[in-house]
Amino acid sequence: MPKTNNIAVIPGDGTGPEVVNEGIKVLNAISGKSGFKLSFNYFDFGGDRYLKTGEVLPDNATDELKKYDAIYLGAIGHPDVKPGILEKGILLRLRFELDQYINLRPVKLYPGVDCPLKDKGPEHIDFVVVRENTEGLYAGSGGFLKKGTEDEVAIQESINTRKGIERCIRYAFKYCKKRNKNKKLTLCGKTNVLTYAFDLWERTFNEIAKEYPDITSDYAHVDAITMWFIKNPEWFDVIVTDNMFGDIITDLGAMIQGGMGIAAGGNINPEGVSMFEPIGGSAPKYKGKNVINPLAAICAAGLMLEHLGEEQAGREVEEAVMKVTASHLKSLAAGQMGMTTTEVGDLVAKYVT
């Protein structure tokens, strides 16, 4: 009997459901061919459910989701809901409660994709950011003093635990070794100013580096790294960084790989349930128009397959996406692809079978 992978699907808001449909189309196509089974169970978490019921996430949601082999997420964010409620209440809550302590974000320029950097091609842009995903400024620690008065104080604390840093850095070294490309791991920090947080990051990094003599360890300040992403992206292989810096540099990463239409990521708990998503958001203005680019969601599905142990299938999804970017799409931007959302999904599904 082939193994069945049970997937929890959260299509979410805006164009989330449309791109998730295309991802599932591709997943069904490749599983039919490769002889493994996938089953999908849908969850209606998102803005519409919140507006209808007043509940952001049911209390048993994480316990329910823990029963699955992986989670496939479309997008969270609704124009009629105040920013922060759904992002914090669904996306960040799931990341935290499922202890998905790694946010893995590949930055790879595919053939045929228009790159905003002059004289840079696919041979220059192929690296992966390992972002810590449960701590730092995202931990929600802080508060107001004398709120609403002229003496008001707002404090937002960055939480960095030895355990949290260590498990993230260990994952990054292991991942770099397994990736087996340039065998270089760069710590992205700000040791010249954040002299507590990044002191701990740097000490931990240097300690663990001793266990990986075959990997070159490297350091760059976060401000400098934004400069190198533009000037010399070919310097990078794997980058490890904290939650906030990882959030910021991966949007820049997405731009140099062709934009939000292609950028995918995984929220990973190596010992638990992981969640895969296109990183571009819900793009509500394109909802229901069949113009949004589904490739980021399809790439996220590919990452999910790899994570589920179907590595060959994951590679085939990526190869199919590369064929589509190389010879079919006019642009990766919504409405400018020269094809509809569903046509792009059909084409990738055709190439994987």
Is residue 129 part of the contact set for ligand IPM (CB under 6 A)? no
Is residue 99 part of the contact set for ligand IPM (CB under 6 A)? no
- Report the C-alpha gap between 188 and 231 in whole angstroms: 16
Is residue 13 part of the contact set for ligand IPM (CB under 6 A)? no
Residue of this chain nearest to Mn ion (CB atom): 247
- Report the C-alpha gap between 139 and 241 in whole angstroms: 15
Is residue 71 part of the contact set for ligand IPM (CB under 6 A)? no
- Binds 48, which of ligand IPM, Mn ion, none (CB < 5 to 8 A, cut-off by type)? none
Give the DSSP letter string of 269-330. -TTS-EEEEESS---GGGTTSS-S--HHHHHHHHHHHHHTT-HHHHHHHHHHHHHHHHHT-S
Distant-in-sequence, close-in-space partners of 174: CB < 8 Å, separation ≥ 6: none
- Which range in 22-30, 102-110, 218-226, 239-247 contacts Mn ion by CB under 5 A? 239-247
Is residue 247 part of the contact set for ligand IPM (CB under 6 A)? yes
48 or 87: CB nearest ligand IPM: 87
- Report the C-alpha gap between 321 and 335 in whole angstroms: 18
Is residue 168 part of the contact set for ligand IPM (CB under 6 A)? no
Question: 51-70 in b/e burial notation, b at 16+ Cβ within 10 A?
Answer: eeeeebbeeebbeebeebbb
Which of residues 247, 306, 310, 318 is near Mn ion by CB under 5 A? Answer: 247
Whether the Cβ atoms of residue 208 and residue 217 lie closer than 8 Å to each other: no
CB of 250 to ligand IPM, least distance (A): 6
* 332 phi, psi to nearest 5 deg: -90, -5
- Binds 304, which of ligand IPM, Mn ion, none (CB < 5 to 8 A, cut-off by type)? none
CB of 293 to Mn ion, least distance (A): 18
Whether the Cβ atoms of residue 131 and residue 172 lie closer than 8 Å to each other: no
Q: Which residues lie across from 144 on neighbouring strands?
A: 154
Is residue 279 part of the contact set for ligand IPM (CB under 6 A)? yes
Which of residues 26, 91, 292, 349 is near ligand IPM by CB under 6 A? Answer: 91
Which stretches does DSSP call E strand in the chain? Answer: 4-12, 37-42, 70-75, 102-108, 126-132, 136-145, 153-159, 184-189, 216-221, 238-241, 264-268, 274-278
- Binds 308, which of ligand IPM, Mn ion, none (CB < 5 to 8 A, cut-off by type)? none
Whether the Cβ atoms of residue 205 and residue 189 lie closer than 8 Å to each other: no
Is residue 277 part of the contact set for Mn ion (CB under 5 A)? no
Is residue 92 part of the contact set for ligand IPM (CB under 6 A)? yes
280 or 294: CB nearest ligand IPM: 280
Residue of this chain nearest to ligand IPM (CB atom): 87
Question: Which x/- pattern, by CB under 6 A, does the window 22-41 give for ligand IPM?
Answer: --------------------
Is residue 242 part of the contact set for ligand IPM (CB under 6 A)? no
Q: Which residues bind ligand IPM (CB under 6 A)?
A: 87, 91-92, 247, 279
Q: Which residues bind Mn ion (CB under 5 A)?
A: 247
